[in-house]
């Protein structure tokens, strides 16, 4: 179980990430650049006493996750785009991880957007200590199927531990038969993805989001300084060059990747090009009914 001081850190990180999520979603409109939304979301998190738990993901249409703009990215939203904003704040390693979806200027995908949202919110009605993991996926899949769509089966919710975004349990978005119960003290991210495609994602090209893969600092002095900055600013969390307040971060990060010290996350796409929607909350399992952290 978390002590009260730890729980307050988690609550604040959760609230700030939720506010940042909604700020990002509210900015999405025709002609607005992905870059500007990501920067605003991250600035909000930092202005409010938190650090970034990962770069703001802005994943559009059949891209399910792991796109974040780089400096100079000119991509802008177009009418009909379905835009997922996924962001995370942390305080001393206690993470709020949250996401939502909007569409730009149309209402063609409102049912698909609602499918993932209703799935998440249905889970919020019962999740807590003792909940069997497959009951979460069962409700997610039933809710999404009942609206005529499929859950993305190879993207999952997850347990979160201090300074570890994906730690311990995976929480599938379908009934995988795992009857292990959630235990008191766990922090869990519930994140249903819904699609009108096949219900599977595949790894595309490497994106801008990286993590330190190996705890072996580089030998070159300039690179070592940058590495030390990353460890200080982002620790074990995913990060990207755009979020680094460091000269030539892009160049230096590429070097770390080439040396195998950092590795980049692949951009995840729906296998049949289906449109993907996502809603996510982080909850704290303090008792029979979990407390939603990523709300305000």
What are the C-alpha distances in Å from 35 to residues 40, 103, 147? 9, 17, 33
Stretch that binds Mn ion, among 80-88, 169-177, 200-208, 247-255 (CB under 5 A): 80-88
Distance, in Å, from the CA atom of 210 to the CA atom of 32, rounded to the nearest integer, reads: 25
Q: What is the DSSP string of 9-72?
A: HHHHHHHHHHHHHHHHHHH--TT-BHHHHHHHHHHHHHHTT-EEEEEEEEEETTEEE---PPTT
Of these, 116, 189, 223, 290, which contacts Mn ion (CB under 5 A)? 189
What are the C-alpha distances in Å from 213 to residues 87, 226, 227, 275, 281? 21, 15, 12, 31, 27
90 is catalytic: no
Asked whether position 293 contacts Mn ion by CB under 5 A, the answer is no
280 is catalytic: yes
Stretch that binds Mn ion, among 29-37, 78-86, 124-132, 201-209 (CB under 5 A): 78-86
Asked whether position 97 contacts Mn ion by CB under 5 A, the answer is yes
Asked whether position 62 contacts Mn ion by CB under 5 A, the answer is no
Given 97, 103, 114, 270, which residue is catalytic?
A: 97
**270 to 289, contacts with Mn ion by CB under 5 A?**
280
Among 211, 147, 168, 188, CA closest to 280: 188
166 is catalytic: yes
Cβ-proximal residues to 118 (8 Å cutoff; 6+ apart), any chain? 143, 147
Q: Which is nearer to Mn ion, 97 or 103 (CB)?
A: 97
Least distance in Å: CB of 125 to Mn ion? 20
Stretch that binds Mn ion, among 17-25, 39-47, 190-198, 288-296 (CB under 5 A): 190-198
Of these, 42, 81, 86, 103, which contacts Mn ion (CB under 5 A)? 86
Q: Which residues bind Mn ion (CB under 5 A)?
A: 86, 97, 99, 189, 191, 280
Q: Which residues form the catalytic set?
A: 86, 97, 158, 166, 191, 280
């Amino acid at each position: 179980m978390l002590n009260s001081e730890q729980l307050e850190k988690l609550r604040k990180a959760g609230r700030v990430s939720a506010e940042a999520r909604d700020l990002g979603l509210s900015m999405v409109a025709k002609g607005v650049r992905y870059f500007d939304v990501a920067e605003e979301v991250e600035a909000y998190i930092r202005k409010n006493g938190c650090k970034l738990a990962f770069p703001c993901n802005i994943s559009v249409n059949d891209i399910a996750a792991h796109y974040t703009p780089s400096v100079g990215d000119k991509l802008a939203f177009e009418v009909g785009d379905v835009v997922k904003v996924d962001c995370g704040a942390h305080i001393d390693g206690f993470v709020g991880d949250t996401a939502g979806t909007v569409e730009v200027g149309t209402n063609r995908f409102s049912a698909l957007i609602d499918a993932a949202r209703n799935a998440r919110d249905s889970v919020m009605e019962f999740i807590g200590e003792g909940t069997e993991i497959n009951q979460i996926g069962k409700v997610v899949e039933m809710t999404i199927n009942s609206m005529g769509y499929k859950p993305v089966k190879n993207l999952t919710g997850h347990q979160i531990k201090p300074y570890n975004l994906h730690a311990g349990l995976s929480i599938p978005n379908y009934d995988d038969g795992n009857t292990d119960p959630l235990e008191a003290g766990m922090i869990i991210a519930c994140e249903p993805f819904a699609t009108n495609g096949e219900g599977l994602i595949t790894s595309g090209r490497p994106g801008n989001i990286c993590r330190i893969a190996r705890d072996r600092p580089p030998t070159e002095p300039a690179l070592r300084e940058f590495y030390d900055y990353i460890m200080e600013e982002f620790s074990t969390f995913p990060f990207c060059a755009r979020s680094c307040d460091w000269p030539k971060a892009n160049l230096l990060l590429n070097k770390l990747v080439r040396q195998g010290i950092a590795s980049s996350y692949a951009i995840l796409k729906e296998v049949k090009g289906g449109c993907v929607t996502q809603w996510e909350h982080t909850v704290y399992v303090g008792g029979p009914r979990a407390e939603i952290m990523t709300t305000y």
